Amino acid sequence: MNRVTAFLERLRNIGWRIPAGAAALVVIVAAPWWGPLVLSQLGYFHVRQVEIYGAVYAQPSRLIGRMHVDTTMSIWMNLTPVERRVARDPQVRSVVVERKLPGTLVVQLVENAPVALVETSGPPGKGASGSAIRVVDAVGHALPIDPSRTNIDLPVVESADPSVLALLADVKAHEPRLFAQISSVRRTGGSGDELDVALPSVMVRALVGVSAERLADVIPVEADLARRHARVAELDLRFRDQVIARLQ
């Protein structure tokens, strides 16, 4: 308390004009523990608005519902339980809730990015033969995104295969233009150690564990073949440092 008073006195000495009310607010906020307790009793600091940043697929109404806050609560409440409730949403990877005076809570979140559509045996998003299509993240967790109601374009995979999903997450992070072109990925080969990656004009064959950087080697090759009007049946990445084009 003495340090706050001395700080205000120094500001006055150098010519700063501080209204009495503002000075009192600074003193209260700077108090170690009783300041927020005092402010929480004032209706002026009740929650009147929630701002959410970083929500691309997560529905703001669902996140606000998870917060369990209303206009009878003060923004000086303990925000840790609020963060924990929002963090339980499967669409949320991390979240921070902050105060913005006088009555706003600011939610900054990072989403679990969707990387693929996978067929399962239940709703939502009916696929062929009554199957369901679910949106999954890089580790195979189903996300609360209904592809039948959301304009979402993702590669289709047969199952939540960790190797396939890791590849798609890698490509999405480092080669987003290539990711946007992939329509499906599936395991092939006698032991399932190969992948077929479907692009709009060609099928790419690669080994399981291929990196996004290696998969991107097909981009200049495909462009060169297109300039020459070559009809390509397949691009093969299974051989080290080579892209083998099989023509039709």
The pLDDT tens digits for 146-190 are 888 888 899 999 999 999 999 999 999 999 999 999 999 999 977
SS3 category, 61: helix
- Say how many C-beta atoms besides its own lie within 10 A of residue 134's C-beta: 25
Cis (ω within 30 of 0) for the bond into 124?
yes
Q: What pLDDT, on the 0 to 100 scale, is given for residue 147?
A: 85
pTM: 0.71
- C-alpha 154 chain-centroid distance: 15
The residue behind tokens 């996978």 is 118
Q: Is 194 helix (H, G, I), strand (E, B) or coil?
A: strand
Q: Residue 43: its pLDDT value, please? A: 61
Interval 89-125: pLDDT, tens: 999 999 999 999 899 999 999 999 999 999 876 555 5
Q: Check residues 21 and 112 and name the one with the higher pLDDT.
A: 112
Question: Which tokens sit at 22?
Answer: 């503002």
